Amino acid sequence: MSLTCPICQQALSLVDNGVACPANHRFDRARQGYLNLLPVQHKNSRDPGDNAAMVEARRRFLDGGHYAPLARRLAELAAERAPQRWLDIGCGEGYYTAQIAELLADADGYALDISREAVKRACKRAPQLSWLVASMARVPLADASCNLLASVFSPLDWQEALRLLAPGGGLLRMGPTGEHLMQLRQKLYDEVRDYDEQKHLELIPPGMRLAHSETLRFALQLDSSQARADLLAMTPHGWRASAERRAAVIAEDFEVTVSIRYDWIEKI
């Protein structure tokens, strides 16, 4: 086990129904199977992260198979790297995590999110993983303990990524290109803002380098009002756009472009 105490950073060991460090900071395992390693002093609100409604919307949409090709390619790219230990940072409700876990059955897998509501649902998808409620800015894992970090539609603390990765390991990042959901955005806003898909590359710190990049693009027919409502609810557009525009999107079938970029960023 590579877990570290979020309070004093000493190693955590299994005890009874949870974990503890030598300083006797104890963390119990929840009934659902996850560990809550987010001390109250590290929270910026009472229940940080996505709420239950957002998590449920994402679960329904993803379980509907709309983004299945994205998850499949992510898992294949992870499997090509054959990591011994991996971590999904910002795992949400666990849809992508579970597919990675399926192809990395012999590896030691961890997944974390700051949203307790998300992790509570996620841990049912792959009980064999170590599921954590924790901060992405203070990941409770030891230095150089991971060979692969997965970051899917998620903000990232680059210095934490660098700290967590063993030499030769890497970050597998999955995020949108400028084309992603363009038709949806055109329906919601008078003026669609340009999205710079290269922007994250400027943030890569010294000690890491981009080793591989590819894009997966396909057309997605949204012919269910529930799927359209869920897609809105799981993106920032669900609260940025006007209620009138959101209602119009939910009311009518349309096709959107799904366009996702995968980057493999190695620790040198």
Judge whether 180 is annotated as a binding position: yes
Judge whether 93 is annotated as a binding position: yes
* Angle, CA of 253, 152 and 238, to the nearest 5°: 40
Judge whether 146 is annotated as a binding position: no
Task: Please answer whether residues 175 and 260 qualify as being in contact, where contact means their C-beta atoms are separated by less than 8 angstroms.
Answer: yes
Residue 164 CB contacts under 8 Å (≥ 6 apart), including other chains:
87, 139, 141, 143, 144, 145, 146, 149
Residue 266 and residue 268: Cα distance in Å, rounded? 6
Judge whether 66 is annotated as a binding position: no
Structure tokens at 265: 């960023």
Residue 158 CB contacts under 8 Å (≥ 6 apart), including other chains:
203, 204, 205, 208
Judge whether 8 is annotated as a binding position: yes
HEC-encoded secondary structure of 210-250: EEEEEEEEEEEEECCHHHHHHHHHCCCHHHHCCHHHHHHHH
Judge whether 91 is annotated as a binding position: no
Judge whether 25 is annotated as a binding position: yes
Judge whether 42 is annotated as a binding position: no
Instruction: Give the largest Cα separation in the chain, rounded.
Output: 59
Annotated binding-site ranges: 5, 8, 21, 25, 67, 93-94, 180
Which residues sit in the known binding site for Zn(2+)?
5, 8, 21, 25
> Which residue numbers belong to the known binding site for S-adenosyl-L-methionine?
67, 93-94, 180
